[in-house]
Amino acid sequence: MYLQSLLVIFCLLICSYSQDTTQKPPLPEDDPANFRDQNARKMVKLAGRHWVKKRTYNVTTPKGKPTCEYAEIIKKVPGNKYTLKLGAKLGSRWTSGNQTLFLKKTGSHPAPNMLNFTRLRADGRQGHLLLYSNYRNCSIVRIMKKNSTDYRCDMLLTKEAAKR
């Protein structure tokens, strides 16, 4: 009986230890296997407008819900900074504005992988992690809203790809 009790305790200890040491797979933005597709410096070199084709969340502004949105790099300024133009169609009117976009590195990335800018004034400046870009016509960014644990994603397409 004593030997059986020791065996049970030993098994429980081994099982609990193995559960504590199991690692969750890394998030896509933290997985080194994806780093080659997450170079924000390459992405911002794409000319023209990047249209929001799909998103995993809803957007509402004080002026209503946008029916069409785009982002466009206007120019590079010294450092990892760019002038970014954001535009949206609200109802029957278009609105747009320029702001500063900062490129930042997170974790062990060898190149900047985050686009940092203010999309909605109410949210303030936020990091938009580049999850994927083919550096031709498609990019996917992840946004972590402040005071939230929800991941939100936008799929951005260049004009030519968005028409398809």
Question: Structural domain of residue 114, as residue ranges?
Answer: 28-162
Global pTM? 0.81
Assess if residue 22 is contained within a domain: no
Ordered DSSP codes for 25-94: PPPGGG-GGGGGG--HHHHTTS-SEEEEEEESS---BTTB-EEEEEEEEEEEETTTEEEEEEEEEETTEE
Q: Is position 118 within any domain?
A: yes
With respect to residue 146, please indicate whether it lies within any of the assigned structural domains.
Answer: yes
| 2, part of any domain | no
Amino acid at 103: L
pLDDT, tens digit, for every residue of 105-137? 999 999 999 999 988 777 788 899 999 999 999
Q: Name the band, by pLDDT with cuts 50, 70 and 90, for residue 14.
A: low
Q: Does any domain span residue 10? A: no
Tokens of 59: 């957007």
Report yes or no on 8 lying in a domain: no
- Rounded to whole angstroms, the Cα distance separating 101 from 83 reads 6
Q: Which residues contact 41 (CB under 8 A, 6 or more apart)?
A: 80, 103, 111, 112
Query: 145: domain CATH number?
Result: 2.40.128.20
Domain tally, the chain: 1
Query: Are 160 and 154 in contact, with CB atoms under 8 Å apart?
Result: no
| Residue 18 domain flag | no
